Amino acid sequence: MAAFTYAPAIVLLPFVSFLVALFAGDRMPKGGALAGITATGGSLLLSIWVALTVAGGAVHNEILYQWTTSVETLQLNFGLLLDPLSALMLLIVCLISFLVHIFSLGYMNDEGETGLPRYYGGLGLFTASMLGFVVANNLLMAFMFFELVGLCSYLLIGFWFRQDGPPSAAKKAFLVTRFGDYFFLIGVVGIFATFGTGLFAPITQGGEVVAESFPMLAEHAIVDGEVEGIAMLETVGMGPQAWFTVLGLLVLGGVVGKSAQFPLHTWLPDAMEGPTPVSALIHAATMVAAGVYLVARMYGFYALSPTALAVIALIGGFTALFAATMGLVKQEIKQVLAYSTISQYGYMMLALGSGGYVAAVFHLTTHAVFKALLFLGAGSVIIAMHHNENMWDMGGLKDRMPVTYWTFLAGSLALAGIVPFAGFWSKDEVLYEALIHGFGTEGGLGTVYLAAYAMGLLAVFFTGFYTFRMVYLTFHGDARSDTARDPEPVRWNVKGPLTVLGILATTIGFINMAPVAKLTGAHIDFLHTWLSGPEEGGWPELLSTDLHHYEELLHEVPHVDPAYPLGGEITTLLASAAVSLGLALAGVLVARSLYAGADPVEHTDKLGGLKTLLMHNYYQDEYQVWLATGVTYPLARVMNKFDQGVVDGVVNGISSVSLFGGSRIRRIQSGVVSNYATLLTLGLVLLLAAFGIMGGWF
Amino acid sequence: MVALPDWMALAPALSLALASLVLLLADSVDPDTTNTGLLAGISVLGSLLSFGFAGWFITAGTGMADSTGVALFNNQLVVDQMALFFMAIVGSVTTLVVLASYDYVAEHSYQAEFFVLVLLSATGMSLLSAANSLATAFVALELVSLPSYALVAFLKENKGSVEAGLKYFLIGAVSSAVLAYGISLVYAATGVLRFDGVATAISSGTVQTIVDGSVQAQAGDPAVPMAILGVGILMIIGGVAFKTASVPFHFWAPEAYEGAPAPISAFLSSASKAAGFVLAFRAFAVAFPIGDLLAAGGAINWVMAFQILAIATMFIGNFAAATQETVKRMLAYSSVGHAGYVLIGLAAVSGSGEGLSLSMSAGMSHLLVYGFMNTGAFLFIALAEYWGVGRRFEDYNGLGREAPVACAAMTVFLFSLAGLPIGGGFFSKFYLFQATLNVSAWSLAAALIINSALSLFYYSRVVKAMWIEEPTGSRTIESYPMGLYTAVVGAALVTVLLLPGFNRVSEIAFQAAQLL
């Protein structure tokens, strides 16, 4: 397939733009922006081509470059895996990155920022890393690009390094995600040690499997009991399911860090210190999406472990609710969006954990669009407000910047989950899947799903509330400051991306209107079809990364099955949709009643002590800082004492013993030759005697 | 391949012998000549030729075709891979030493005699590499020893040198006596002196004799008295221990190395030690096969003896080196310690006699690398002596500023000796370590690690003095002797090149060990 031949260029183009911006950016017009736009535009076109080819039923899984081999069978490779999931993700990343590049013209160039080559270089590398991660066909390559993504986020969040906040936020993002990546790395090593391969999908040649993938090996071990080839199980002394759960949870550490799930979510709100287009990129398509994408990528592995699924679902549901409550009281527009991101990724985790693979990918897609839209809209507002981000200084921007308002409203409706905007469809599907699987699954797993569902459902109300609190405070009522009365106008390069994303946020939900499909019986759940592939043969058989395979696995191993508590499937579906829509609308209405007036007042004070708690984000930062200073630091000091006292003491002791011994040995060398002859003879006699007695010579 | 007569297999030894004869001729034509250039030139030529022949034969495959190699004089000498490997070591070290001696002896009389003695001793070492019977081995060993006694005492006006020579000679006499007695006991027990004959006697358990060059059982099939054989083997170990400066026969080494002219210290501590080891490797691998010995019962388990010796030698050598105040004596003790490392080659063998090829090739590789790095280090001392720099560590302070090239070379030697990955010493020590792990000889592995760590301490004292410390007194270096510099820099270059080239060396060594 010609498209697959050119697929590496999707990754390489942004990388080239990184090099161009870095080395020639200051000699180019717009500081390298045009190179970035060209490159991401080119990548977008290629991605579309790839997606069309994949839609034609072709998939691609090939090793491009083998960079290490050893006497054992272990090989380390770079390779491409292009299946419907990665093709879809490529589209999302390229599209968002392309629009962010254009938007940056307005946000960075027009605002007269300095250091633009560094900025565009960072964007290029960021995009390239994420694309490399998306197409990676094995875990180690994924890990490497995962780390590159982390590095780029560090560079971009800390872009304004001369101020106090950004470098500190960048460091925090780097350290917190690195904490999770530490577990991920152990997981990667563990998976390689266990299976001898990190491939996500088997590589086939002419129908024959030439290299098996680790999810498939794990499946054979658990489903068919083929554990002979896995020596690691004996080493760790665990059953296959227990050990694979450990491995899955280790990898999940990296996911939790990158996708900003509780308790490693604390870096994300601080990351708002970076330029707003970067925030859009981080939140919508790259960094944060990487975690969830990784779980989806190796879903065949997670589907084998009910424990891992339960943990994922629980983390997701809890994070969705937890982050939503924190978003209620924030005063800065980007802070609200940051918490909403955490919350929305919680939904995706909830979906993955509760067996809603399509729902997760669907929400990942819609969220990418409407969150990018909201951030770019917020960026537009920030330009207008001369970089004042406090919502209480805004108000009444509706009439002065209509394009921003209407697109932002579309994004907000999508985020709040109001029909028919994108978020409604995907979020509804997430909750629906959690609900039916919660009722249908036996034992503890089902209970976990129901608990997670309850938290997710409650979060819907809060989402509606904080979203529209933000909309009302920003755009409605009277202007509350001079800048809001006379905002700076924005140009086409801001309005263009907003318009594109606004249209998409309104319509992208139509790619998988599952409720409508169920009601009418029409086959309009395109994403579902896209991910499950043809019924017989085709790529699902080749790669086994298809939905159908995952559903079978979920049914067979953790026994995740649907059940419909309210009569039939249709009634349950409608009831679920109605409940979530109702809650979202309730949230919106409450926000309207509190903040819609011409001159809204702060109601947060009425929350009393709760407000303080929420404003301080449940003291998450405080307790993590306390963990560092109150636990780790004293522990480190004790270790240091131990090192200085005991280890160094032993070392010093050894050295003084050595020197003392040395001086004693030296003294044997008396300089008197007859002594030497005596000692020599004595030594020989001693040896003779010893060996004589041993050998029984006497 | 060029067809050469069989005796040409000895060309590495013959060229050394020939060069010494030419030197004697030159000396008799012009007694008391001070034409150092001519004398050193002949010596360098002879030793280079020897090295060249050895290298050529190895690459051309002499002794590779079949495991016996080229047998000469009724199997008294065998030129095989192992012999050539050590001939190459001897040739290279001798080249370096005579090259460096060009400057060193320039101011002394009896120069021709000096070079003749060096070359004769080297001839002995070369022959020893090929010795295939206890008798030729003993003769060759004496040919190595006798000139070296005289060489240690070469600085006749220097009390230290004379005293060292005498002590060396006395201990050497005792050791030779022990060795000769051991050989006689082995002969008494087995009836033969040839290594293959001894091996046959041990494996068959009957006394052998040699008729028309082939080993046969003696009439009446008398049994081999294992106790006598054991005593004999232990005494041969003693003789080997003397030559390799291993505990408890090491007492001569620090004094001889310190008192001798520095090039001779280099010669003794590298080439002479290698010669001792080749005897040990060949004798113990061929003549006293450990598997048969253990099977026979009642005889000595020489692997255990070498384990004890290796550990004791490593510890005593390195611990004593750590507390020395003079650089040369420190190097002398470190050389004792290195003998301990190489002894691992005979000690890292499993209870059933497995792993000998691997450990022996590790020992051989270490000796080759050691031949360059240790010789280089002693030659640097020669350079320092030439300049009149003092003997103590402090006297080397700030030397790096005045002689950066030589000091850089010395740094390479020292760190390579310690086993840092700057020269071949890293890999050879690692190879030894692997050999110990191969047979799960944990005590040897631990001793190797501990002593390497300790050695880093005292080696880096010199490096620190040369580069970091401020120079104390005023010191002026007037000339940069060409011969010494060439030798030092050449040795450093080879030491570094052995880092990438180690694979080739270990391959040859492994092949040689396997062919035995």
Percent of chain B at pLDDT exceeding 90: 22
Choose from A694, A697, A698 for mutation: most chain B CBs within 10 A: A697
**Digit-coded pLDDT (tens) for B326-370:** 898 899 999 999 999 999 888 888 766 677 888 888 899 999 999
Confidence of residue B412 (pLDDT cuts 50, 70, 90): very high
User: In the predicted model, what is the mean pLDDT of residues B455-472?
Assistant: 87
Choose from A651, A652, A669, A693 for mutation: most chain B CBs within 10 A: A669
Query: Is B248 close to A666, i.e. CB distance below 8 A?
Result: no
* Chain A partners within 8 Å of B454 (Cβ): 658
Task: Select the highest-mean-pLDDT range: A207-211, A531-535, B4-8, B101-105.
Answer: B101-105
Q: Among A659, A676, A695, whose Cβ lies nearest the Cβ of B299?
A: A695
In chain B, which residue's Cα lies nearest the Cα of A676?
B251
DSSP SS3 for B72: strand
Domain parsing of chain A, residue ranges: 340-602, 622-694
**Digit-coded pLDDT (tens) for B16-74:** 999 999 988 988 888 777 788 888 888 899 999 999 988 888 887 665 555 557 788 88
- List all residues 6 or more positions away from A631 whose beta carbon is below 8 Å from its beta carbon: none
In chain B, which residue's Cα lies nearest the Cα of A695?
B298
**Digit-coded pLDDT (tens) for A177-189:** 888 899 999 999 8
pLDDT value of residue A543:
80
Could you tell me if A126 and A100 are in contact, meaning their C-beta atoms sit under 8 angstroms apart? no
Write down the H helix ranges in A58-108.
Answer: 84-104
For chain A, what is the mean pLDDT?
84
pLDDT value of residue A70:
59
How many beta-carbon pairs under 8 angstroms link A with B?
A: 85
Percent of chain A at pLDDT exceeding 90: 8
pLDDT value of residue A69:
66
**Digit-coded pLDDT (tens) for A82-99:** 888 888 999 999 999 999
Residue A642 to chain B, least CA–CA distance (Å): 22
Could you tell me if A309 and A443 are in contact, meaning their C-beta atoms sit under 8 angstroms apart? no
Separation in Å, CA B422 to CA A597, B425, B464: 77, 8, 17
Could you tell me if A351 and A550 are in contact, meaning their C-beta atoms sit under 8 angstroms apart? no
For chain B, what is the mean pLDDT?
86
Distance separating alpha carbons of residues A428 and A577, to the nearest angstrom: 6
Distance separating alpha carbons of residues A60 and A542, to the nearest angstrom: 10
Could you tell me if A18 and A117 are in contact, meaning their C-beta atoms sit under 8 angstroms apart? no
* Chain A partners within 8 Å of B171 (Cβ): 673, 676-677, 680
Q: In sequence order, what DSSP letters do the residues of A315-352 get, joined into one string?
A: HHHHHHHHHHHHHTT--BHHHHHHHHHHHHHHHHHHHH
Q: Which residues pair with B326 in a beta bridge?
A: B392
Choose from A680, A681, A693 for mutation: most chain B CBs within 10 A: A680
pLDDT value of residue A527:
84
Does residue B322 belong to the interface with chain A, where contact is any CB pair within 8 Å?
Answer: yes
Query: Is B248 close to A684, i.e. CB distance below 8 A?
Result: yes
Confidence of residue B183 (pLDDT cuts 50, 70, 90): very high
pLDDT value of residue A45:
92
Does residue B171 belong to the interface with chain A, where contact is any CB pair within 8 Å?
Answer: yes
Does residue B308 belong to the interface with chain A, where contact is any CB pair within 8 Å?
Answer: yes
Q: Which residues pair with B223 in a beta bridge?
A: B206
**Digit-coded pLDDT (tens) for A415-435:** 888 878 888 888 888 888 888
Between A357 and B63, where is the model more confident?
A357
Q: Among B170, B299, B305, whose Cβ lies nearest the Cβ of A673?
A: B170
- List all residues 6 or more positions away from B153 whose beta carbon is below 8 Å from its beta carbon: B161, B162, B164, B165, B166, B259
Distance separating alpha carbons of residues B467 and A652, to the nearest angstrom: 25
Query: Is A695 close to B254, i.e. CB distance below 8 A?
Result: no
Q: How does strand B208-211 pair with strand B77-79?
A: unpaired
Q: Which of residues 93-152 of B touch A (CB under 8 A)?
A: none
pLDDT value of residue B1:
46
In chain B, which residue's Cα lies nearest the Cα of A660?
B323
Say yes or no to pLDDT of B98 above 50: yes
Say yes or no to pLDDT of A73 above 70: no
Residue B138 to chain A, least CA–CA distance (Å): 19
User: In the predicted model, what is the mean pLDDT of residues B279-288?
Assistant: 87
**For residue A155, what are its two tokens?**
């560079």
Does residue B238 belong to the interface with chain A, where contact is any CB pair within 8 Å?
Answer: yes
**Digit-coded pLDDT (tens) for A294-313:** 999 888 889 888 888 999 99
**Digit-coded pLDDT (tens) for A560-616:** 888 887 777 888 888 888 888 898 899 888 888 888 777 777 776 677 777 777 777
Between A668 and A88, where is the model more confident?
A88
**Digit-coded pLDDT (tens) for B127-180:** 999 898 999 999 999 999 999 999 998 888 888 889 889 989 998 999 999 999
Choose from A664, A673, A694 for mutation: most chain B CBs within 10 A: A673
Q: In sequence order, what DSSP letters do the residues of A34-64 get, joined into one string?
A: HHHHHHHHHHHHHHHHHHHHHHTT--EEEEE
In chain B, which residue's Cα lies nearest the Cα of A698?
B227
pLDDT value of residue A397:
79
Distance separating alpha carbons of residues A661 and B382, to the nearest angstrom: 29
pLDDT value of residue B298:
65
Q: How does strand A60-69 pair with strand A75-82?
A: antiparallel
**Residues on A contacting B at a C-beta cutoff of 8 Å:** 655, 658-659, 661-663, 665-666, 669, 671, 673, 676-677, 679-684, 687-688, 691-692, 694-698
Separation in Å, CA B128 to CA A235, A388, B404, B505: 51, 90, 39, 21
Could you tell me if B428 and B366 are in contact, meaning their C-beta atoms sit under 8 angstroms apart? yes
pLDDT value of residue B125:
92
Least confident of A188-197, A647-656, B405-414: A647-656
Query: Is B249 close to A680, i.e. CB distance below 8 A?
Result: yes
* Chain A partners within 8 Å of B316 (Cβ): 665
Task: Select the highest-mean-pLDDT range: A249-253, A273-277, B209-213.
Answer: A249-253
* Chain A partners within 8 Å of B247 (Cβ): 683
Could you tell me if A332 and A355 are in contact, meaning their C-beta atoms sit under 8 angstroms apart? no
Could you tell me if B77 and B47 are in contact, meaning their C-beta atoms sit under 8 angstroms apart? no
Query: Is B248 close to A669, i.e. CB distance below 8 A?
Result: no
Query: Is A697 close to B457, i.e. CB distance below 8 A?
Result: no
Q: Among B227, B320, B322, whose Cβ lies nearest the Cβ of A695?
A: B227
Residue B140 to chain A, least CA–CA distance (Å): 23
**Digit-coded pLDDT (tens) for A484-508:** 777 777 778 888 888 888 888 888 8
**Digit-coded pLDDT (tens) for A462-476:** 898 888 888 888 888
Q: Among B167, B298, B323, whose Cβ lies nearest the Cβ of A673?
A: B167
In chain A, which residue's Cα lies nearest the Cα of B172?
A677
Least confident of A288-292, A337-341, A516-520: A516-520
Q: What is the dihedral of CA A478, A479, A481, A485, to 10 degrees?
A: -140
Say yes or no to pLDDT of A395 above 80: no
**For residue B163, what are its two tokens?**
């005293």
